[in-house]
Amino acid sequence: MNLRSLRFRITALYAVLLSGALVLFGATIYLGLQRYLYSNLQETLADECRTIETGLLSQHPFRRPQWLQQEIEESFTPEANGHFIRVTQEGIGVIFASREPKDGSFDLTGVPSPAEQRDRPQKIRQKDGHSLLVVSSRFTAPDGTRFITESGFSNRQIEVTLDGLLVTFGVYMPFLVLVAVFSGYWLMRRSLQPVDEITRLAEGITSSNLSERLPVIRTGDELERLSGALNRMIERLDGAFQHIHRFSADASHELRTPLTILQLELEGLAQNRKLDPSLMDEVGSALEETGRMSHIVENLLTISRLDAGELKIDKSRLDLAQLASSSTEQMQLLAEEKSISLRCQTGDEIYIEGDRSRLQQVIVNLVDNAIKYTQEGGEIRVNVRQDTNLAILEVSDNGAGIPGDALPHVFERFFRADKARSRDLGGAGLGLAIVKSICIAHGAEISVSSQEGRGTCFTVELPALAVVNRMQPTI
């Protein structure tokens, strides 16, 4: 899982906010219920005190000494109901006090004397950890006698209820958060799936296939606007590239005629034996530069037509192994001039579909490039093999190699890692650009690996039409 992905960050933020909201909600429910239960209990106890005062204490003096005790026990049955009731008469002391409750919910020994009681409700901690909530009230009878009425009840049931609520929150809240997080992540993944598709297709769009467009997500939201904006940007880039290709093709085409005329006129002058020898050298130099310029213009025109799809590619079924072997044989003489060992190893009948002349140009350009940058006594290997449904052509040497910072640019037009040396060798930096364009026109992939001072390897991968495992060397 990518911790920096948008879906993970949104899901994490969603989980934090949801957890915070649930904790706040749970705390609100818990505190609200706690306040409600205690307030309700206090109100019940206060009503009980008022009932005793208005119904019983207001009849003071009492009819007989035991009358108050009998009336309270018959009306409220405090021992059976777990209530604490105590009535204190000023100047006399306690005239009624309930006995220990049958359910043992509180202990009378822990209840303070009436003199220690306060006017506000009081929680008296018991030995079992629970509390006894006691509400006291002062009352003056019609005859002027003053009483203190106390009513109490254990908060055990309230605490059990609140503890049960905490357990419920502790069990179900993490479960709800996990369900919400996984559901949110799934929804985010599903929602962002079109973005992944757009990203995948956008990465496959290069200068050679700018006519392709990204899918437009008809949702009416930001994704639809994003895909539409990207398509409009690609369309503008396509127009700009088409304009550049047309300019290069038109410029190259227009330069061909004057260069051809200039070359013919210089050749005519060179054949004039009456010219001064020094002038003859200048004409020869001009003729050489004109030929070099004509070659550059032809290469530019070829690249422009390949990029624009205007150059005709006559594809047919051909044996890449045989083509590599024959093309390498044609380059043997050039390799022998530098005492370079040029060997070709191919498989039997590795068939592909392509233009024979253009693919031969690829092989020749790669081998010629290797010969130029391999020292005398060096070694060049041309290898053709088949890997599943791919026909693989490799041209490797043990020459000077290419600097690491230059590798990403070797297929660019007019790029030369060593400009001075390349010019001495007659290179203009267009050979590999032509190879790249031909490979793209054939749906092939070309890559390069190199270590400076140890050699270079160019690899071309083409769709194969047949699978042959047997290998045999060819010189």
Going residue by residue through the chain, which has 475 residues, state the pLDDT in tens, using 9 for 90 and above: 666 777 778 888 888 888 889 899 999 999 999 999 999 999 999 999 999 999 888 888 887 778 888 888 888 888 888 889 999 998 888 899 898 888 888 888 778 877 665 668 888 887 777 888 899 989 999 888 999 999 999 888 888 899 999 999 888 888 888 888 888 888 877 877 777 788 888 888 776 677 788 888 777 777 788 888 888 888 888 777 776 666 666 666 666 677 777 777 777 777 776 667 777 777 777 877 777 777 667 766 676 666 666 566 788 899 999 999 999 998 999 899 889 999 998 877 889 999 898 899 899 989 998 998 899 989 999 999 988 889 999 999 998 888 888 888 888 877 766 654 455 555 566 778 888 888 888 888 999 999 888 899 999 999 988 544 444 444 4
Indicate whether 273 belongs to any domain. Answer: yes
Indicate whether 180 belongs to any domain. Answer: no
Indicate whether 48 belongs to any domain. Answer: yes
The per-residue pLDDT for 409 is 84
Cβ-Cβ contacts under 8 Å for 454 (sequence gap 6 or more): 398, 401
| Residues 147 and 34 occupy one common structural domain | yes
The per-residue pLDDT for 32 is 94
| Residues 238 and 344 occupy one common structural domain | no
Q: How many domains does the chain contain in total?
A: 3
The per-residue pLDDT for 40 is 93
Query: Which tokens is 241 given?
Result: 């590239």
Instruction: Give the Cα separation of 175 and 4 in Å (integer).
Output: 25
Q: In what side-by-side order are the strands of the sheet with 455-463? A: 445-451, 455-463, 390-397, 379-387, 341-347, 471-474
| Residues 329 and 261 occupy one common structural domain | no
Residue finishing a domain among 119, 138, 161: 161
User: What's the chain's length in residues?
Assistant: 475
Residue finishing a domain among 286, 308, 330: 308
Query: Which tokens is 325 given?
Result: 């072997």
The per-residue pLDDT for 456 is 93
The answer to whether the beta carbons of residues 1 and 12 sit under 8 Å apart is no
| Residues 236 and 155 occupy one common structural domain | no
In 3-64, alpha helices (H) = 6-55
The per-residue pLDDT for 120 is 80
CATH label of the domain that carries residue 116: 3.30.450
| Residues 292 and 326 occupy one common structural domain | no
| Residues 366 and 250 occupy one common structural domain | no
| Residues 155 and 11 occupy one common structural domain | yes
Indicate whether 205 belongs to any domain. Answer: no
Instruction: Give the Cα separation of 331 and 372 in Å (integer).
Output: 12
| Residues 324 and 268 occupy one common structural domain | no
| Residues 73 and 118 occupy one common structural domain | yes
Instruction: Give the Cα separation of 2 and 7 in Å (integer).
Output: 9
Instruction: Give the Cα separation of 209 and 221 in Å (integer).
Output: 28
Helix axis angle for 222-270 and 156-203, nearest 10°, is 20
CATH label of the domain that carries residue 412: 3.30.565.10
Indicate whether 176 belongs to any domain. Answer: no
At 174, the amino acid letter reads P
| Residues 128 and 16 occupy one common structural domain | yes
Closest-CA residue to 306 (of 230, 260, 258, 357): 357
Instruction: Give the Cα separation of 378 and 369 in Å (integer).
Output: 13
Indicate whether 255 belongs to any domain. Answer: yes
Indicate whether 303 belongs to any domain. Answer: yes
Range of the domain at 465: 316-474
Indicate whether 189 belongs to any domain. Answer: no
3-state secondary structure at position 447: strand
| Residues 123 and 13 occupy one common structural domain | yes
Beta bridge partners of 134: 122, 152
CATH label of the domain that carries residue 241: 1.10.287.130
The per-residue pLDDT for 218 is 77
| Residues 105 and 68 occupy one common structural domain | yes
Residue finishing a domain among 122, 139, 161: 161
Q: Are strands 341-347 and 471-474 parallel, antiparallel or unpaired?
A: antiparallel
The answer to whether the beta carbons of residues 422 and 429 sit under 8 Å apart is yes
Instruction: Give the Cα separation of 363 and 52 in Å (integer).
Output: 114
